[in-house]
Chain A
Amino acid sequence: MPKRKEEPRDLFPGALEMMVLEILRRRPLHGYALVQHIRERSDELLRVEEGSLYPALQRLLKEGLVTAEWGVSASGRRVRIYRLTAKGAKHLEREVSKFEQMLEGITRVLAPAKS
């Protein structure tokens, strides 16, 4: 896969899926809107290669964490709208708590030692 040198570092595995699930938890969205959403919410700190979203979405679909249906977007175009399932919500909860634990651990290690 061609990569540009100046591009921000890859996310860790599962991060993209977690973010997608979190966004879908709030409301159903289609692919393009999801990309926009990630970019806006992260204040452009994270730049997701747009293409990598689709394999992630297929993985979530296969595991039954989201469902997809063809519908019409706000701008009136035919789009495929993804929706979080109950299984997806539970999965997200678990992943987030695992992520927070990990983050907590990393933070503690990186924090300057208290005397």
Chain B
Amino acid sequence: MSWLKRIFRRKQLYGDLSEEIRAHLDEKVEELVASGMTRKEAEHAAQREFGNVMITEENAREIWRWPRLENFLIDVRYALRVLRKSPGFTIVAILTLALGIGANTAIFTLIDGIMLRTLPVSKPAELYRLGDTHQCCNIGGVQSRWSIFSYPLYRQLREHTPEFSQMAAFAGGLDNFAVRRGGSDAPPQPLVGEFVSGDYFTMLGLRAFAGRLIDSTDDRASALPAAVISYRAWQQDFSGQPSVVGETLVVNTVPFTIAGIAPPGFYGDRMIASPPDLWLPLATEPILDGPNALLNRTDSNWLYVIGRLGRGANPAAVQSQLTVELRNWLSVQIGLGGHDRAKAEKTRIILTPAAAGIDVLQHENASGLFLLAIISAMVLLIACANVATLLLARGAARRAETAVRVALGAPRARLVRQAVTESVLLALAGGLAGLFIAFVVVRVILLLEFRGVGYVPVSAEPSVAVLGFAFLLSLVTGVVFGMAPAWIGSRSEPAEALHGAGRSASDRSSSARGFLVVLQLALSVILLVGAGLLMRSLRNLETQKFGFEPEGRLVAEVNPVTAGYKPGELYGLYQQLTQRLPRIPGVVSASLSAYGPMEDTNFEWPIHVEGREPGERIFSCFDLVSPNFFRTMGTRILLGRDITAEDTPASRPIAVVNEAFVRKYLRGKNPIGKHFGFADVKEGVNYQIVGVVENAKYYYRRDHPMFFLPLLQRVPSGMGFLEYIGDIELRVAGSPEGMEPAVRRALAATNPNLTAIKIVSLPEQIAENFNEERLISRLTGLYGVFALFLACIGLYGVTAYSVRLRTREIGIRVALGAQRGDVFRMVVGGGLKLALIGVAIGIAGALAFTRMLASLLYGLSPGDPATFLGATAVLFGVAIFACYVPARRAMRVDPVTSLRNE
């Protein structure tokens, strides 16, 4: 590192050089004196023969320098001095840039943390997923692009595709298990778990943090049940005690041995909110699910499959081979109807790279993140334009200084480089502050987006990639907003500038400033329109007609499986619950259901309806509910009767349908007494319609046909899992918050193993449905206000500056008889002209931009005139205000003073 040494040695080098030259001159003088000169003459002669000492020394020093680097350092030092001299400008510029860069860094943090992240496993690039769609489970249907598999199908594919060195299967849907440590009396805690095949951890190439990970020896019916817990759960729920390895863990009343702890940072095979904390072998599924077990059923598809392709394997060839195997397997499958058989001949498997695992979150967030990236890019553009305007104004003020420097021979490239150095420094400082802003914004985004979720494996802390992004973005930003002002500033004609400094009414940079202000105004209009649309859409969503009453309702998520209930025991449990729950003080009515509204659950099945064509494929959503369900939810019964306690397994099977069902499948005819049933099932049941309820929002945002069956009355064979309730609904007098302990006590009194996974008020449960909409609308609103604020400052700055430049002109006008009102109109008119152009361009831009929002909007069109009108009005109001202050100042210009000043 000799160059490094040289930097430190340089001072000494220079000292040596000066001393040496002095010694040289001394020696010469002495020699000359010895030869008879006077000392004065000798000194003179020595100097003459030596040449210019200062220039010689300078030339000699130059040899040790890197002119490029040192000029750069000089530029930096100069820029720092200039910035320090105008702290107001510096702070405003840095803050503006910090917001712009911070907004973008925040979105990039999410893109990096969600979209660009690969699984923390060994060689993730070798992983391929069989299939490309996302669903938890598919029972009995034929998928057009096979993505979710039954266990027998998985084994078939694994055995016949040797190109995969390993192929693991794991549950598509995660389960909430009730877990209690062996020997503990505490009520069981809910823990998210996942069933995985024995080679799951081997395929991922993971090593246990402690103990061992489960392997194929654990994944046998004969093996003792073993489980792996996550590092996070070990830290949080087991207080990090090393002794838990080998301990007993009671999962849904079944004892498991804790085999080991997964490595820290492993969040499973997919990035989701609330990732699994417990991994159980597939072979234990029948023990836990009892008669409703899925493991050995060929018609129950519930497993995702990922395999590791060995080096040299050709994914395209493997993909077609898998498709052939799948079709062969389906053809020997019995029980496929004619419709399904035709579909099975066309089905295929698409092999997708799975370095990121199952990309559910990526899939769900891609469009939202894209939108936010565009919005934050607009904010940065506005910030750039704003700072560029400031720089232009400052450049114009420093015209005389620049002119002197040009006159003294400063090359233009050097002047530009110096100015750009200054702007890059500003941007880097802004970037540094922006990192902090980004951290806060990401935290807020995560809170908004994942409201009601315990843990998200996305960190707000900037990664190396994020730091690099922020740095590069700052550099680019600095050059972008600094280049034009630097160029315009350097084009100073010395003679012109020094001559009439401050006298001309316009200068070269004024049109550039006008353009930048128009740009800011246009972008603000786009953001304001977007924010307005999203806000109105969110309001529409939140205040829509739900078809039930959210206020004063409480939902408790329960699962009798977790308390070890067998199908035969359910009737007794439900009887107990329907009697005990209404007796909780404050509870007005209570009901049970398979699932409640707007909780992201949906049962949907093909049906046949009496009086319609037999071969027709029609689908309906359905739910299973206890008596009092509609009363508890506040859903109105429009026709016929409610489900009552008399609708028992022994009585005639009945159903209540919604309006959409009647309109779509019964063509609006009187539905009471009509019959329908499930299609594609071995033993169908004919349900008689006894009532009609109003449409209510369950899974779909639009009205959808739906029917309700009495809980436990009768379901088709093979659908026994439908008899397990998932929800308890309570209608309470007063506020639902604070009821939680009483509900938990009532459940524990029924059965100590029965625990609520989550208790939440219905309004909160609804609110969680709109997390993404709320996030995007709030952020767009925030960015829109910020944009408006900046554009307003920009417009104010330009108007105020032009008033200052034209003080003399205004003075002359007033002297010649112009009225104060004329001056006012002139100034405000100039500003509003810019605003008008900005709004016109902005509206055109907004029409294009809002088309992107169309899929996010509920209950209004992307071209909603009221929103456009509102945004335009807000912008004009602010623009008038921004012009008013300088116009007032212009009105007060005193012709005598302004002319004397010259």
Contacts and interface: CB of A to CB of B under 8 A. Distances in A.
A78 B23 contact: yes
B60 A54 contact: yes
A109 interface: no
Given A32-B24, A50-B49, A68-B16, A58 B60 contact: yes
A51 B52 contact: yes
B51 A58 contact: no
Interface string A52-66: 101101110010000
Q: Is the interface of B mostly helix, strand, loop or mixed?
A: helix
Contacts of A75: 27
Interface in B8-28: 13, 16-17, 19-21, 23-24, 26-28
B23 A79 contact: yes
A57 B52 CA distance: 17
B51 A32 contact: no
A54 B23 contact: no
Contacts of B17: 54, 58
Contacts of B57: 54
B59 interface: yes
A3 to B, nearest CB: 9
A102 to B, nearest CB: 25
Interface in A34-60: 35, 49-52, 54-55, 57-59
A77 B23 contact: yes
Interface string B23-61: 110111000000000000000000001111101110111
Nearest to B62: A55
Interface string B348-378: 0000000000000000000000000000000
B27 A54 contact: no
Contacts of B55: 1, 51
B306 to A, nearest CB: 60
Contact of B24 (A1, A2, A31): A31
A9 to B, nearest CB: 16
B60 A55 contact: yes
A2 B51 contact: yes
A52 B51 CA distance: 8
A52 B49 CA distance: 10
Contacts of A80: 16, 19-20, 23
Interface centre among B16, B21, B50, B63 (most CB of A within 10 A): B63
A51 B50 contact: yes
Interface in B731-745: none
Nearest to A78: B23
Contact of B51 (A31, A49, A78): A49
A32 B64 contact: no
B52 A32 contact: no
Given A2-B51, A49-B51, A50-B51, A55 B56 contact: yes
Given A51-B52, A51-B56, A58 B27 contact: no
Given A54-B60, A59-B63, A49 B21 contact: no
A55 B23 contact: no
A77 B61 CA distance: 24
Instruction: Place the interface of chain B in its size category.
Output: 20 to 34
A1 B54 CA distance: 10
Contacts of A49: 49-51
A62 B49 CA distance: 26
B23 A2 contact: no
A55 B20 contact: no
A58 B23 contact: no
Contacts of A35: 24
B840 to A, nearest CB: 63
B52 A54 contact: no
B20 A54 contact: yes
A70 B28 CA distance: 18
Contacts of B61: 58
Given A1-B52, A2-B51, A2-B52, A55 B24 contact: no
Nearest to A63: B63
Contacts, number: 67
Contacts of A78: 23
Contacts of B56: 51-52, 54-55
Contact of B50 (A50, A57, A68, A79): A50
Contacts of A62: 63-64
A46 to B, nearest CB: 14
Contacts of A31: 20-21, 23-24
B49 A58 contact: no
B69 to A, nearest CB: 16
Interface centre among A51, A57, A68, A70 (most CB of B within 10 A): A51
A34 to B, nearest CB: 10
A32 B23 contact: yes
B1 to A, nearest CB: 15
A69 B16 CA distance: 10
A78 B26 CA distance: 11
Contacts of A1: 51-52, 55
A30 B19 CA distance: 13
A31 B28 CA distance: 11
Nearest to A79: B23
A70 B23 CA distance: 12
Contacts of A57: 60
Nearest to B49: A50
B21 to A, nearest CB: 6
A55 B59 contact: yes
A49 to B, nearest CB: 5
A55 B21 CA distance: 11
Interface in A63-92: 68, 70, 75, 77-80
Contacts of A50: 24, 28, 49-51
A107 to B, nearest CB: 32
Given A32-B23, A32-B24, A77-B23, A55 B63 contact: yes
Nearest to B27: A32
A70 to B, nearest CB: 8
A77 B27 contact: yes
A50 to B, nearest CB: 4
Nearest to B56: A51
Nearest to B6: A62
B16 A51 contact: no
Interface in B649-690: none
Interface string B569-596: 0000000000000000000000000000
Contacts of A32: 23-24, 27-28
Nearest to B55: A1
Nearest to A49: B51
B505 to A, nearest CB: 48
A80 B53 CA distance: 18
Contacts of A2: 51-52
Contacts of B13: 58
Contacts of A59: 63
A97 to B, nearest CB: 26
B623 to A, nearest CB: 86
A63 to B, nearest CB: 10
Contacts of A52: 51, 56
A37 B28 CA distance: 14
Given A68-B16, A80-B16, A54 B64 contact: no
A4 to B, nearest CB: 9
Nearest to A75: B27
Contacts of B28: 32, 50
Contacts of B50: 49-51
Nearest 7 interchain pairs by C-beta: A51-B51, A51-B56, A55-B60, A55-B59, A58-B63, A50-B50, A58-B60
16 contacts: A31-B21, A31-B23, A50-B51, A51-B50, A51-B52, A51-B55, A51-B56, A54-B21, A54-B57, A55-B62, A58-B63, A58-B64, A59-B63, A62-B63, A77-B26, A80-B23
Interface of B: 13, 16-17, 19-21, 23-24, 26-28, 49-53, 55-57, 59-64
Given A1-B51, A32-B27, 16 more contacts: A31-B20, A35-B24, A50-B28, A50-B49, A50-B51, A51-B50, A54-B56, A54-B59, A58-B13, A58-B17, A59-B63, A70-B16, A77-B27, A79-B23, A80-B19, A80-B20
